[in-house]
Amino acid sequence: MRTAIQGPIAETSGAAIAEQALRACVHCGMCNATCPTYQLSGDELEGPRGRIYLMKQVLEGAQPTRLTLDHLESCLSCRSCETTCPSGVQYHRLYEVGHAVVAEAVERPWRERMMREAIRRITVAPSLFRLAAGLGRLFRFVLPDVVKAKIPPAVAVGARPTVKHARTMLMLTGCVQSAAAGHFNAATARVFDRLGISLIEAPEAGCCGAVSQHLDASEAARAQARANLDAWRPLIEAGAEALIVNSSGCAAFLRDYGDLLRDEPDYRDLAARVFAMVRDPIEVLENAPEVVARRPPAAPRVAVHEPCTLQHGLKLTGRIGALLGRLGYEPQPVADNHLCCGSAGAYSLLQPQISERLKANKLAALNASQPAAIYTANIGCWMHLGAGSPTPVRHWIEAVEAVL
């Protein structure tokens, strides 16, 4: 598509990112076929091609309206359109630029602003999230259904191995995950310990920044990214081999630090180094000779929910199922595997109707084969699907640990 970006955005580094995506798009509409929101609505402006067109108009000088913002914010940022696009359009990079311009120009009512900021603050601070979850469990009976469904169950964390191996890898423990599902991190550390690798954490590292970035707080996202990089720098220089991130949403966002900090020369090189170091645990375990089943799975019939960030962000489709199959599990086929479950960060709170429809479709697909358990790879999907699933939802690392 020909394009001529105008206004203040034309003077920024975001213009080049947007221009690259806009020029690559040939407007064929193939992406609409795999877009969850287009599939639900059949509305061109609720699909990637329409949203690209809306962003193009605004970036070329048109005044955005509340409707423009609504069409952009019903997008799940699932990136299914990127996997489908034959022209290699990096929709998510265009979206970060285009959405920021629209969100800046369209004033939100104060109530909406407060809600978004409250969600952001509770999510990025594990102590606040822990407190809110604890209170939520206590007063569950008075809460509206949409909030009730967001309260994670209390799960015992289990022991963490001590750091004792010469081989070390960094681990991001995350914000919500460290508060709501510490057992994912503990299980990951135990499995890596069996491989002779100690997972180490930088205590000053925290939220990856994705939630802030998606809730109009770009400066807070950049500050979180800088703080993480500063915390990891000495450990990387001391020889950490990789950065293990067992929540695919965080891993995909960490790989975008280069874009996020593109105007900050002090961090550019380190962001590129971190990009190369980020690993979902599957990328290590699938090649590790120590990962062999020492006992058969108690209940082998399972379904694997592959989060959008794992499939379309990290491009790791099929890898978890293949490892579980090697370990004696029987992963069942899942219809429409490429479609989002509706979790998408804060999306399930901000767009509950679309989110619930997608969740119902996803749970029906996952449960169709009557698996004993559903295994996923992202904290948000775990919380979202776990609320309402008749089958237990777990992190896939727990399935690996159970047979090692």
Is residue 29 a contact point for ligand SF4 (CB under 6 A)?
yes
Is residue 75 a contact point for ligand SF4 (CB under 6 A)?
yes
Nearest-10 crossing angle of helices 319-326, 396-403 = 20
Measured CA to CA, the distance from residue 81 to residue 24 in angstroms comes to 14
Q: Which is nearer to ligand SF4, 188 or 348 (CB)?
A: 348
Considering the complex, what minimum distance in angstroms separates the CB of residue 79 from ligand SF4?
5
Q: Which is nearer to ligand SF4, 29 or 388 (CB)?
A: 29
- Angle, vertex CA 271, rays to CA 269 and CA 274, nearest 5: 110
Among 26, 62, 276, 292, binds ligand SF4 (CB under 6 A): 26
| Residue 108 vs residues 7, 51, 317: alpha-carbon distances, Å | 22, 20, 37
Is residue 40 a contact point for ligand SF4 (CB under 6 A)?
no
Binding mask 106-145 for ligand SF4 (x = CB under 6 A): ----------------------------------------
Asked whether the beta carbons of 253 and 208 are under 8 A apart, the reply is yes
Among 55, 69, 78, 400, binds ligand SF4 (CB under 6 A): 78
Please name which of 377, 371, 384, 387 lies closest in space to residue 333, comparing C-alpha atoms.
371
Strands 167-171 and 393-395: unpaired
Q: What phi and psi, each to the nearest 5 degrees, are found at residue 374? A: -110, 130
Residue 293 CB burial class (10 angstroms; 0-12, 13-18, ≥19): middle
Binding mask 50-69 for ligand SF4 (x = CB under 6 A): -xx-----------------
Measured CA to CA, the distance from residue 253 to residue 225 in angstroms comes to 10
Is residue 381 a contact point for ligand SF4 (CB under 6 A)?
no
| Spatial strand order in the sheet of 278-279 | 197-200, 167-171, 243-244, 278-279
Is residue 89 a contact point for ligand SF4 (CB under 6 A)?
yes
Q: Of 49-57, 147-155, 222-230, 329-337, which segment contacts ligand SF4 by CB under 6 A?
A: 49-57
Considering the complex, what minimum distance in angstroms separates the CB of residue 299 from ligand SF4?
33
Q: Of 70-78, 115-123, 249-257, 268-276, which segment contacts ligand SF4 by CB under 6 A?
A: 70-78
Considering the complex, what minimum distance in angstroms separates the CB of residue 102 from ligand SF4?
14
Asked whether the beta carbons of 210 and 255 are under 8 A apart, the reply is no
Considering the complex, what minimum distance in angstroms separates the CB of residue 255 from ligand SF4?
16
Is residue 48 a contact point for ligand SF4 (CB under 6 A)?
yes
Structure tokens at 365: 């697909």
Binding site for ligand SF4 (CB under 6 A): 25-31, 35-37, 48-49, 51-52, 75-81, 85, 87, 89, 91
